[in-house]
Amino acid sequence: MLKIGSHVSFSDKGLLNAANEAVSYGSSTFMIYTGAPQNTRRRSMDKLFIDEGKQVMAKAGIGEIVVHAPYIVNLGSYKDDTFRLAVDFLQEEVRRTNHIGVKNIVLHPGAYTEKDAEYGIARIAEGLTEVLEGTKETDVNIALETMAGKGTEIGRTFEEIAAIIEKVPHNDRLTVCMDTCHIHDAGYDVINDFDGVLRKFDDVIGLDRLAVIHVNDSKNPTGAAKDRHAPVGHGWIGFEAISNIVRHEALKDKPFVLETPWIGKSENTVRPMYEAEIALLRGDAEGRFGGEFLTDVERLHHFFDKQDIHPRIYVLNTWEQLKTDAKAKKADPREPMERLYDMVMENRVLEGDYSEEAVNQRLTAMLAGKEYLTKL
């Protein structure tokens, strides 16, 4: 069974809260932070409802899950206090991950800021060496995440990831998290030649180190180095390419984790598309949402055909227009899905009394393409 889920909240009742949220989306895996990703405040492990969460997971058939290290960890920093905080805090996060019973903690390698890439790689390797040495009592792996190439971050190429690993003496607990948006934005052709991307990864790093895949579409074309995630099918990678990735034979049994942004026209209606994304990628949209769901998607296709609008081309053109409009300071900031949603509602395309989330779920399915419907 395809192991796919999303990032879920670890607030309030810890693992219990996270597991229940994951189940509500139809997940078969999920990813958590052990506390807020922006700070070092952490609740004690006895207040994280770990046993209760694992009971929910067992009932739902969820086994392997993933932890993500907080964003404030920067092992690439030349500043001693920042580096020291990163090492000490990451060691503590590894111990917490071990206590929860999770095998891999995903880490953004770090940024070199005012130095250079060579310095950053060496500094990150130095920090990882200390972290691994200080957590030898655990069997937790640190999964270095592939990055988009934004700013001075390290990890924008497979070679940079490999260089870090090679500089760490005892590196058997170093694995890799591949992010589809990040490698697309870094210039790897995940759309037309994902087989070639995997061959390159295997040659440079080794597929045996690949532990986790983050599944995200991108708001930018290949090589943009921007790191702007989009829901599946809402961006330049597209549903077909992402579906090919999660079904790739070389990646079977790996956990796939959605980090796609929530969408909606206001703070009160913004919602994730996780449930629809998971069902669509699993090929079980009808089973999850019922037959009327696919009938509604057909209605959407028919409506946009009559308007002479190809939804995917429309979405990509809108992302490009938004970049132009931002530079020109024009007045229509609406993202593609908001514009499509407005057209659907203004023309009363759907017969049901649906919430904004439900309409967006159907639009997400529409963006999977007519070919998707014919395969069901």
Q: Are strands 29-32 and 66-68 parallel, antiparallel or unpaired?
A: parallel
- What is the identity of the amino acid at 65? I
Binding-site residues sit at 68, 108, 145, 179, 182, 214, 227, 229, 259
Per-residue HEC secondary structure of the chain comes to CCCEEEECCCCCCHHHHHHHHHHHCCCCEEEECCCCCCCCCCCCHHHCCHHHHHHHHHHHCCCCCEEECCCCCCCCCCCHHHHHHHHHHHHHHHHHHHHHCCCEEEECCCECCCCCHHHHHHHHHHHHHHHHHHCCCCCCEEEEECCCCCCCECCCCHHHHHHHHHHCCCCCCEEEEEEHHHHHHHCCCCCCCHHHHHHHHHHHCCHHHEEEEEECEECCCCCCCCCCEECCCCCCCCHHHHHHHHCCHHHCCCCEEECCCCECCCCCCCECCHHHHHHHHHCCHHHHHCHHHHHHHHHHHHHHHHCCCCHHHHHHHHHHHHHHHHHHCCCCCCCHHHHHHHHHHHCCCCCCCCCHHHHHHHHHHHHCCHHHHHHC
Which residue ranges make up the annotated binding site for Zn(2+)?
68, 108, 145, 179, 182, 214, 227, 229, 259
Which amino acid, one-letter code, is at 90?
Answer: L
**CA 115 – CA 360 distance, rounded (Å):** 44
